[in-house]
Chains A and B, each alone.
Chain A
Amino acid sequence: MNIADLPWLSIVIFFPLLAALFIPFFPYEEGKVEQEKTAYRLRWYALIVGLIDFVLIVIAFYYNYDFSNPGMQLVESYTWVPQLDLKWSVGADGLSMPLILLTGFITTLAILASWPVTLKPRLFYFLMLAMYAGQLGVFAVQDMLLFFLMWELELIPVYLLLSIWGGKRRLYAATKFILYTAGGSLFILVAALAMAFYGDTITFDMSALMAKDYPLKLQLLLYSAFLIAYAVKLPIFPLHTWLPDAHGEATAPVHMLLAGILLKMGGYALIRMNVEMLPEAHAYFAPILVIFGVINIIYAALTSWAQRNLKRKIAYSSISHMGFVIIGIASFTNLGLSGAVLQMVSHGLIGASLFFLVGATYDRTHTLILSEMGGVGKKMPKIFAMFTTCSLASLALPGMSGFVAELMVFVGFATSDAYSSTFKLLIVILMAVGVILTPIYLLSMLREIFYGPENKELVEHEALIDAEPREVFIIACLLIPIIGFGFYPKLLTQVYDAKTVALTSRLREEAIELADTSSPTGALAAIQPFKAPSLSP
């Protein structure tokens, strides 16, 4: 059989799931020593499964993915429920491929990061592997109903991982998370059904849905429904309040997945459904998205600054960084959209590394309150160095991927011809204010944890051992792509460039067409920053 003909995506999705099913067969043993042995075996088992899956993804990417093709690749489609026209159909294009790679990479590292987990290792690793599959599924499936299923499927492991291995307020956080996201999912389902049943044919296939021509009013409705769902996930102010709680209570590996991948699902789905399927509505909603993006950047940066809990601080910083994704999506330029995708991948890497380090610090200090730390840099120079590097990456230091992404969004938005100059000026200034705020909260965080004289109480009560090789290895793995993309962004952008270019040109065409036929009315007219007529074809 030819290597190109293998059902690669299905294999990589099902492999971790199948492997997870073997976990119950690990012998159950009495006694502490034996249990530790089992935990040890489980760890390696999960890690190897994760690694193999990642290698499979890379092989599929390397041999069967063509950079210059803007369409779907690695496509598979099998009929599942013919009555509903429900198909198992997966595929990857420039939008999903980077995120699939990111998922494989981060999840494998998260398994490696969960070495210290000793509570119920069987269930833990089972859930981790199940989540692996669920996450890959969300990015790969090309069927609306299937997408909804995958979206829901990945919630359950997160809920359990939060509510069993979380911090003190884990139940509250987990419940909040599940209520929020499940509430959001409802909107996806409704919108998906509406789209599927609209018109002559009933179909859930995404490309078929994309081809359908919805009237503008319906598009606006559908767009709002999707937006609510994805705004919860991404998150967008004011639907973000689940995130500090969930992130504040999760353990490090879960944390890495939450920040590294789950947030990206929101961004991915926003581009995939709102932008790709409802481009006309997007033309109307874009200015609103931009405004929300700016609110995200500044609001979350300010809350992060005032936050005294380390995990919640970083959690808010995630919200702030997602603002750039939203603005990039709404910029109507190649550069902006490209920057948005880059920012998603970049934040996936940086967020994961920061959260991992927060976990590593917590393992030693056993406190997350900043004022209870101080001066630990002397005892833990390696963690100090890594934390500093990752914080600098997060504040968009040049030479790291975050800088390129933010710069692309900045330049893309500033040169966008879809908005009036005044609006652009205002937004760019506010975005740049975020650039001042980010170092303030990140550096003052470093200041409070590591700098200054040692906190006597902490030093006396806690064994502050420095990073072990495993931890250094994880951070090194994350830093290599962060710095690699920072030095030479084309490494990553070439993977999806064809796709974003095609998408942008389609968006612009639709926007120009729309401007010729109608003009914004009602509440949309009040905002009026969007001047579609000025778009030149």
Chain B
Amino acid sequence: MELLYQYAWLIPVLPLLGAMVLGIGLISYSKFTSQLRQVSSAFIVTLTGAAMVFSGALFWSQVQGHAPYRQMFEWASAGDFQLSMGYTIDHLAALMLVIVTTVAFLVMIYTDGYMAHDPGYVRFYAYLSLFSSSMLGLVISPNLIQVYVFWELVGMCSYLLIGFWYDRGPAADACQKAFVTNRIGDFGLLLGILALFWATGTFEFDLMGDRLSDLVQSGGLSLAWAGVFAVLVFLGPVAKSAQFPLHVWLPDAMEGPTPISALIHAATMVAAGVFLIARMFPVFEQIPSVMTIVAWTGAVTAFLGASIAITQNDIKKGLAYSTMSQLGYMVMAMGVGAYGAGLFHLMTHAYFKAMLFLGSGSVIHGMEEVVGHDPALAQDMRLMGGLRKYMPITAITFLIGTLAICGIPPFAGFWSKDEILGSTFAVSPVLWLVGWLTAGATAFYMFRMYFSTFEGPFRGNDKEIRQQLQYEKLQRLGLSLGPGAMNPQELVLQTEADEHEAAHHHSDFPHESPLAMTFPLMVLAVPSALIGLVGTPFADYFEAFIHPHTEAIAAVAESAEALEAFDWNEFLIMGGSSVGIALIGITLASLMYRSRQIDPGAIAKQIESLYQLSLNKWYIDEIYDAVFVKGSRGLAKQVLEVDVRIVDGLVNLAGFVALVTGEGLKYLENGRAQFYALIVFGAVLGLVLISGLT
């Protein structure tokens, strides 16, 4: 058993090796390596599979009650100051390892089908592997500084993967936006880390919490400052987990290939924020104001995400906002102190959201056969419909995922969401109300998505809708034609390319995706349906396994008590109310998008302003663009002007003055002694006159 732990560092290193081999191959022998498609993917999938088996073994050993394991080495030092790195395997790390490796493994299998015809197939696997490595390194980090290291690395992988199709303008903008927005969060995280280190002298999570509470109690540090430090750290998760107000990057990140949306922007990386809050729990839980901020940020995000998702027509954008909303739930859970519930939702969400995204990828893959490789067409739900007939496996798994996210028992999402809402109610009924309403909205937009994609008639060949979508797309392009946004030529190019693509579609109806894509869907359907059962309120194995370190002993006793004192009444009220509102949402969606008894268009007309607000994502992007982007760009231009005109201008002026005086003096120094004497005489006369006058 010890051997297993001693070699646990292999888990992130194996995928890293894979990425390095492919990367070096692509740079040195690019043609040859790009042709080794199946070999490369098999190589990477095997390495990830090995990491998965390894993680599974570690997880099992942790479940059996093995003590947490930690291995450190000195990474950097200066004099007597040392920075250490290493890895730690405890319950939380083991759980995250299993989640990350399983999802990554399945996504990699799926990729083989999804990217089969892409020229960047091998490069994609290299990036995927690099990402897995960084993410695995993140979850086994023993201290904050190492978290920060891998935090940045997953951000970099996200940047590379969003911009994977780098010749697409929107993808190019999106990857930059994602990186910069995350850097703003990291700005806070870095400051927070430095401040906490300054106050406590350590980067270790537990030690940090203990020392901080001692400091606050002894009056060495005011609670307000401790709160500021913790909020700064929280800014990191706000960006990474797409919480309001730094959520703007996540929907745009959908420009990346769909497997990436599933792996990074739904299941793993965006959950890293929640993971960090969990790791920082010893610090956060001592500062009530911070917990309140965390909880409200989560609640606002959950509601905001759901309110936008209601009107989205792009299937991936809809899922992206739903991810944001679900992340809001997790953060809210953390904020109300429901540590276990938040992580439980992280796990269930990872599985069902990964499946939903992969399902949407399968749908897009099918649609591309009909409408061509244009994301504006292939991803728009207005062109879909009736796909259940053509893609039965995708439809069934998507339905399971939809039921799971809506919180219908016994699917996974019900148990975790119920637990979050239950714990929230105990702390703040207002927050619970927000969460409860959001649950209703979630059920509505998810079933809206399901119905308009898989039920009703197929609309993919409707020329009118297509034209309208093309028109909308051009309009969008036109809007983003701000200064420096895009070339006007691009617009023309784009339409030309589209016409070209559209002429080349292969069939009139979509087909079910290949086994490489449906297999991961089927596998993911199992945990999406059943994994919630490990955390039911009557037998909460999950909560007993995962709990904050500091509460280790207390929590075990508590959960044992809770098991005995399980209150059916409370469970039925809480569970019943959340299922109830979900059913209302589903019914509404069914009436509007399945049986078409209510016309959604008419409702939208009636509440035009609200509809536009939701459709335009509350205009947050526009506001940011006007205030921050334009503002800082203007500032930069001003500074450059100052540099060129004033700072450098002075230098040139000095040079010019030197030149002019030199030229001028040239005429005075003509070598005639009489002239010099005249000057001396004049000067003396002048001095005498001046001294005489005064």
- Chain B contacts with A in 268-318, Cβ cutoff 8 A: none
The answer, yes or no, to whether A66 is at the interface (CB within 8 Å) is no
**In the complex the two chains form, is A452's CB within 8 Å of B172's CB?**
yes
Cross-interface CB contact of B486 among A381, A452, A454, cutoff 8 Å: A452
- Set of chain B residues within 8 Å of A299, measured between Cβ atoms: 639, 643
B636 in complex: contacting residue of A302, A335, A450, A476, CB < 8 Å: A302
**A440, CB-defined interface residue at 8 Å:** yes
B187 and A433 contacting across the interface, CB-CB below 8 Å: yes
Residues of A within 8 A of B184 (CB): 436
Could you tell me if A408 and B76 are in contact, using CB atoms closer than 8 angstroms? yes
Query: Are A501 and B180 in contact (CB-based, < 8 A)?
Result: no
Using a CB-CB cutoff of 8 Å, which residues 483-515 of chain A contact chain B?
A: 488-490, 493, 497, 500-501, 504
Of the 9-residue stretches B146-154, B354-362, B443-451, which lies at the interface with chain A? B146-154
B79 at the interface (CB under 8 A from A): yes
The yes or no answer to B601 lying at the interface (CB within 8 A) is no
Q: Is A439 an interface residue (CB 8 A)?
A: yes
**Contact at B640–A306, with CB atoms within 8 Å?**
yes
Q: Taking each of A302, A335, A410, A472, which has the highest tally of chain B beta carbons within 10 Å of its own beta carbon?
A: A302
- The residues of A that contact B632 with a CB separation of less than 8 Å are 440
Q: Across the interface, which residues of B come within 8 angstroms of A453, CB to CB? A: 167-169, 487, 490, 493-494
Chain A 257-291 interface residues, beta-carbon cutoff 8 Å to B: none
- Report yes or no: A411 in contact with B179, Cβ–Cβ below 8 A: no
Whether the pair B75, A375 counts as a contact (CB closer than 8 A) is no
A443 engages B180 (CB within 8 Å): yes
B183, A397: Cβ atoms closer than 8 Å: no
Residues of B within 8 Å of A64, CB to CB, are none
Interface size bracket, A side:
35 or more
Q: Does B609 contact A (CB under 8 A)?
A: no
Q: What is the number of contacts between chain A and chain B, taking CB atoms within 8 Å?
A: 160
Q: Does A404 contact B (CB under 8 A)?
A: yes
Chain A CB within 8 A of B455 CB: no
Q: Is A238 an interface residue (CB 8 A)?
A: yes
Asked whether A398 and B149 contact (CB < 8 A) given A381-B30, A490-B76, the answer is: yes
Flag whether B28 is at the interface (Cβ < 8 A).
yes
**Is A444 an interface position by the 8 A CB rule?**
yes
B79: which A residues are within 8 A, CB to CB? 334-335, 338, 497, 500-501, 504
Cα–Cα distance between A408 and B83 once the two chains are bound (Å): 10
Q: Which B residues from 129 to 160 make CB contacts under 8 A with A?
A: 145, 148-150, 152-153, 156, 159-160
Cross-chain contact of A432 among B75, B180, B191 (Cβ < 8 A): B191
Q: How far is the CA of A210 from the CA of B648 in the complex (A)?
A: 36
Chain A residue with Cβ nearest B629? A440
Is B76 a contact partner of A452 (Cβ separation < 8 A)? no
Output the least CB separation between B343 and chain A (Å): 25
> Do residues B194 and A428 form an inter-chain contact, with CB atoms below 8 A?
yes
Contact between A399 and B76, CB atoms less than 8 A apart: no
Are A334 and B166 touching (Cβ within 8 A)?
A: no
Query: In the complex the two chains form, what is the Cα distance from A450 to B190 in whole Å?
Result: 30
B21 at interface by CB-CB < 8 Å: no
Known pairs A241-B651, A398-B153, A414-B198; A429 contacts B191 (CB<8 A): yes
Chain B contact surface mostly: helix
For the complex, give the distance between the alpha carbons of A2 and B688 in Å. 77
Query: In chain A, what residue has the closest Cβ to B153?
Result: A398
- Contact (A436, B187) CB under 8 Å given A303-B640, A398-B152: yes
CA distance A504 to B194 in the complex (A): 21
The proximity string for B residues 43-84 relative to A, scoring 1 for CB distances below 8 Å and 0 otherwise, is: 000000000000000000000000000000011111111010
Q: Is B219 an interface residue (CB 8 A)?
A: no
Contact of A362 with B by CB under 8 A? no
Per the bound structure, the CA–CA distance linking A334 and B78 in Å amounts to 5
B489 at the interface (CB under 8 A from A): yes
Instruction: Given A241-B651, A456-B489, decide whether A414 and B78 contact each other with a Cβ distance below 8 A.
Output: no
CB atoms of A435 and B187 under 8 A apart = yes
Interface residues of B in 9-27 (CB under 8 A from A): 26-27
- A16, CB-defined interface residue at 8 Å: no
The smallest C-beta distance from A18 to any residue of chain B, in angstroms, reads 37
Residue B637 CB within 8 A of the other chain: yes
A452 interface neighbour in B77, B145, B169, B198, Cβ under 8 Å: B169
0 or 1 for each of A59-70: is its CB under 8 Å from B? (1 = yes): 000000000000
Taking CB atoms, residues of chain A closer than 8 Å to B90 are: none
Judge whether A451 and B166 touch: CB under 8 Å.
yes
Residue-wise, chain A 350-391 has the 8 Å CB interface mask toward B (1 for contact) of 000000000000000000000000110110011011101000
Q: Are A399 and B639 in contact (CB under 8 A)?
A: no
Q: B79's closest neighbor in chain A, by CB?
A: A334
Given contacts A412-B78, A453-B493, A497-B78, contact A377 B639 (CB under 8 A): no
Is A415 an interface residue when CB atoms closer than 8 A count as contact? yes
Q: Tell whether A179 pairs with B647 under 8 Å between CB atoms, given A398-B148, A452-B167, A493-B76.
A: no
- Are the C-beta atoms of B28 and A452 separated by less than 8 Å? no
Q: Which of A399-433 contact B (CB under 8 A)?
A: 399, 403-404, 407-408, 410-412, 414-415, 424, 428-429, 432-433
Nearest-Cβ distance from residue A413 to partner chain B, whole angstroms: 9
Which A residues are CB-close (under 8 A) to B486?
A: 452
Contact partner of B27 (CB less than 8 A), chosen from A339, A398, A472, is A472
Cα distance, A368 to B97, chains bound together (Å): 46
A351 CA / B175 CA spacing, docked (Å): 24
Whether the pair B640, A302 counts as a contact (CB closer than 8 A) is yes
Instruction: Look across to chain B and name the residue whose beta carbon is closest to the beta carbon of A448.
Output: B484
Asked if A306 and B636 make an inter-chain contact with CB atoms under 8 angstroms apart, the answer reads: yes
Residue in B closest to A416 when the chains form the complex, CB atoms = B198
CB of A490 within 8 A of CB of B180, answer no
Can you list, as one digit per residue, whether each of A327-347 has a CB less than 8 Å from chain B (1) or not (0)? 000000111011100000000
| Chain A residues positioned under 8 Å from B635 (CB to CB) | 302
Q: List B contacts of A382 (CB < 8 A).
A: 27, 30
Question: Does A530 lie at the interface of the complex (its beta carbon under 8 Å from any beta carbon of B)?
Answer: no
CA distance A436 to B184 in the complex (A): 6
User: A493 touches which one: B78, B166, B171, B190 (CB < 8 A)?
Assistant: B78
Q: Which chain B positions have C-beta within 8 A of A339?
A: 78
Would you call A501 and B27 a contact (CB within 8 A)?
no
With A303-B639, A305-B636, A436-B184: A488-B75 Cβ-Cβ less than 8 Å: yes
Asked if B176 is at the interface of the complex by the 8 Å CB criterion, the answer is yes
By the criterion CB–CB under 8 Å, are B76 and A489 in contact?
Answer: yes
Interchain CA distance A82-B106 in the complex, whole Å: 78
Q: Quick one: which of B26, B76, B180, B643 contacts A439, CB cutoff 8 A? A: B180
Q: How far is the CA of A398 from the CA of B134 in the complex (A)?
A: 11
Q: Is B498 an interface residue (CB 8 A)?
A: no
B167-A440 in contact (CB<8A): no
Shortest beta-carbon distance from B146 to chain A in Å: 9
Q: How far is the CA of A447 from the CA of B172 in the complex (A)?
A: 6
Interfacial chain A residues near B407, Cβ < 8 Å: none
Interface string of A4-27 (1 = CB under 8 A from B): 000000000000000000000000
Chain B 172-195 per-residue mask, 1 if CB under 8 angstroms from chain A, else 0: 110110011001101100110011
The reply to whether the CB of A307 lies closer than 8 angstroms to some CB of chain B is: yes
Question: Given the complex, which residues of A lie within 8 Å of B637, measured CB to CB?
Answer: 306
Q: Is the CB of A241 within 8 A of B640?
A: no
> Which of B76, B194, B640: most chain A Cβ within 10 A?
B76
Q: How far is the CA of A450 from the CA of B164 in the complex (A)?
A: 12
Confirm or deny: B163 has a beta carbon within 8 angstroms of a beta carbon on chain A: yes
B78 CB contact (under 8 Å) in A237, A338, A381? A338
Tell me if B692 counts as interface (CB < 8 A to partner A). Answer: no
* Closest 9 A/B residue pairs (Cβ): A451-B172, A334-B79, A338-B78, A306-B640, A398-B149, A334-B78, A306-B636, A241-B648, A302-B639
Given contacts A241-B643, A414-B195, 8 further A-B contacts (CB under 8 A): A179-B655, A237-B647, A398-B148, A398-B150, A428-B191, A447-B176, A454-B167, A456-B489
- Give chain B's interface residues, CB within 8 Å of chain A: 26-28, 30, 74-81, 83, 145, 148-150, 152-153, 156, 159-160, 163, 166-169, 171-173, 175-176, 179-180, 183-184, 186-187, 190-191, 194-195, 197-198, 486-487, 489-490, 493-494, 632-633, 635-637, 639-640, 643, 647-648, 651, 655
Query: Can you name 8 A-B pairs with beta carbons within 8 Å?
Result: A305-B633, A334-B79, A335-B78, A337-B78, A443-B175, A453-B490, A453-B494, A454-B167
